[in-house]
Amino acid sequence: MLGIVFLVRLGFWQLERLEWRRGENAVKAAEINAAPLSLNNLPTAIDLPAMWNRQATAVGQYDLAGQLLVRSQNYEGQPGVYLLVPLVLEGGDVAVLVHRGWLPSAEAANAADYHQTGVVSVTGRIQLSEGLSGGRVTEITADNELFRIDVPAIADHLGYPILPVYLLEEPPPPPDRELPYQLTADLTLDEGDHLSYAIQWFIFAAMLTGIYTYLVAKSR
């Protein structure tokens, strides 16, 4: 009997996890569909990492000397790099890293050809830093090359304040596509396997109940 109770409890626990996941997805969906956030006019106390995948805008000038190449990045099966450039926000003393897109490996040496000068306006999706765990530090070469978008490490490397997230620049309509190829943010929200696990535990409980009932009836 205890085994049956335990299996039923596991099933209800998975249903509770499903409701929690749905609540989390509702919060994320609200961020995804919220009005664009201006990074030039942020309130003093704001939790940008909590706004993952929210659309945002930024106006400023690129620090082209601080341009970075994120190595070992594939796009549609082709090797290449990500072009990551700090955008110094207009009217402030802070920058935001802009993921400008992907370049094929053959174009990495020509990254300067894709510089954008002057004041620019960028629209994209807020993305989270990709730092290492366990206190490990991301290495950045003297040529500004690295293997992940570790925002705090990049801020230390560049030596000036940077927002704790980065901006994934949104791609233009297909006819206007050109290098660097902008990537599309993954806005998928799924409920995980909680429902299937719950059904599984309830089936096991039903099977065990059947076996228990059979054994009790047989013993009489």
In a domain, 210, yes or no: yes
Query: Which range of residues forms the domain containing residue 120?
Result: 54-176
Helix (H, G, I), strand (E, B) or coil at 55: strand
pLDDT tens, per residue, the chain with 220 residues: 788 888 888 888 988 988 888 888 777 777 777 889 999 999 888 999 999 999 999 999 999 999 999 999 999 999 999 999 999 999 878 999 999 999 999 999 999 999 999 999 999 999 999 988 777 889 999 999 999 999 999 999 999 999 999 999 998 776 667 889 988 888 788 888 988 998 998 898 888 888 878 777 877 6
The tokens describing 217, both together, are 């009836």
Report the predicted TM-score, pTM, of the whole model to 2 decimal places.
0.81
What is the CATH number for 118?
A: 2.40.50
Give me Rg for the CA atoms of the chain: 25
- Report how far residue 220's alpha carbon sits from residue 215's, in angstroms, rounded to the nearest whole number: 9
106 and 196 together in one domain: no
**Domains identified in the chain, total number:** 2
In a domain, 46, yes or no: no
Give yes or no for a contact between 169 and 182, defined as CB atoms under 8 angstroms apart.
yes
In a domain, 184, yes or no: no
Amino acid at 24: E
143 and 215 together in one domain: no
Per-residue HEC secondary structure of 128-189 comes to CCCCCCCCCCCCCCCCCEECCCCHHHHHHHHCCCEEEEEEEECCCCHHHCCCCECCCCCCCC
